[in-house]
Amino acid sequence: MSEELQTSVEDRVGRIVFNRPETRNGLVPKYIGEVMKAITAFDADPGVRAIMITGNGQDFSSGGDKAFLREVQKMTPDQVQREVYGYFQGVVRQIKLCSKPVVAVVNGGAVGTGCDIALAADFRVVSKKSFFHENWTAIGCISPLGANFMLPRLIGMERAANMIMRAQRVYGEEAVRIGLATHLAETDEKLREEGHAFAKDLAGRSADALRAAKVALRRSMEGTMAGEWEFNLLQQGRLLAGPDYAAALDAIEAKRTPTY
């Protein structure tokens, strides 16, 4: 990894930190390719149980790098699809399909692609100064990364339309109130600390159960109740025969916290 993308593991939490503060963590395909490699490595590492994504500097991510936006203007539609969104859509898809829980710790603005990356995470931790900004229509286009699918399911159609069609920002306190974010940090200074604690809590839970739950939740967005009953029953049968369930029962009987 380059110095512009910091990765580390602490408390079984794999940390990915955008480190391009001079561009407000602006994104270009090559850089997103590095992010994708980091997610792949953490997803394959048995020592990592949860993944946390955040940014250094003023913002989580300001979206597409401003200089790069001019380059896109000169590309053919085929080039845009292949050379740009193979990465931009690819990283959102990868976060969504990752087998481990992903926590976006949103410092400052999550704008455009940055917003869609945060939306793809399983949880979002914010401060009062954090904001989500689907600014696509403000620059004459739409999000092709999944926001039009994810937002209505997170916050309802009208609120989603307000964010997408009117490009309205949603700040931290409101984000938690409407279900766009999960946890509001006590202060801006404590945001990363509380975000890490949130991810650490996930990392201490049954990895197998979380993996199955993440798939089940994702399937529920598109499936039927009958289909989910069948899928979840199959998963439950496997989990009840596994070591984590046995460890949990032993811990309950011993009146202690289970260790997975």
Q: What pLDDT is attached to residue 149?
A: 94
For the chain, domain boundaries: 5-203, 207-254
Mean pLDDT of the residues in the chain: 94
Alpha carbons 203 and 122: distance in angstroms, whole number? 13
Read off the pLDDT band of 204 (50, 70, 90).
very high
Backbone CA torsion sign across 46, 48, 53, 54: negative
Q: What pLDDT is attached to residue 108?
A: 97
Q: What pLDDT is attached to residue 67?
A: 84
Q: What pLDDT is attached to residue 81?
A: 84
Q: What pLDDT is attached to residue 222?
A: 85
DSSP H or E segment with residue 240: helix 225-240
In the chain the first and final C-alpha atoms are separated, in Å, by 30
pLDDT tens by residue, 121-168: 999 999 999 999 999 999 898 998 999 999 999 999 999 999 999 999
* Percent residues over pLDDT 90 in the chain: 82
User: Which pairs from 75-84 meet CB under 8 Å and 24+ separation?
Assistant: 83/29, 84/29
pLDDT tens by residue, 49-94: 999 999 999 999 999 888 888 888 888 888 888 888 889 999 999 9
Length of the chain: 260
Alpha carbons 89 and 40: distance in angstroms, whole number? 15
Alpha carbons 147 and 189: distance in angstroms, whole number? 29
Give me 210's structure tokens. 């979380």
CB 167 within 8 A of CB 109: no
CB 111 within 8 A of CB 62: yes
- pLDDT tops 80 at residue 99: yes
| Alpha carbon of residue 170 to chain centroid | 17
Read off the pLDDT band of 1 (50, 70, 90).
low
DSSP state of 32: H
DSSP state of 186: S
pLDDT tens by residue, 14-50: 999 999 999 999 999 999 999 999 999 999 999 999 9
Backbone CA torsion sign across 127, 115, 60, 39: positive
Q: Alpha helices of 45-137 — where are they, by DSSP H? A: 66-73, 77-79, 85-97, 113-120
CB 56 within 8 A of CB 21: yes
Instruction: Give the burial string for 188-209 (b: 16+ CB within 10 Å, else e).
Output: eeebbebbbebbbebbbbbbbb
Q: What pLDDT is attached to residue 85?
A: 87
Amino acid at 151: L
Q: What pLDDT is attached to residue 79?
A: 87
For the residues 106-129, what does the mean pLDDT come to? 97
Smallest CA-to-CA distance from 194 within 98, 103, 58, 96 is with 103
Smallest CA-to-CA distance from 214 within 201, 232, 200 is with 232
List residues bridging with 8 in a β-sheet. Answer: 15
CB 48 within 8 A of CB 13: yes
CATH topology of domain 5-203: 2-enoyl-CoA Hydratase; Chain A, domain 1 (3.90.226)
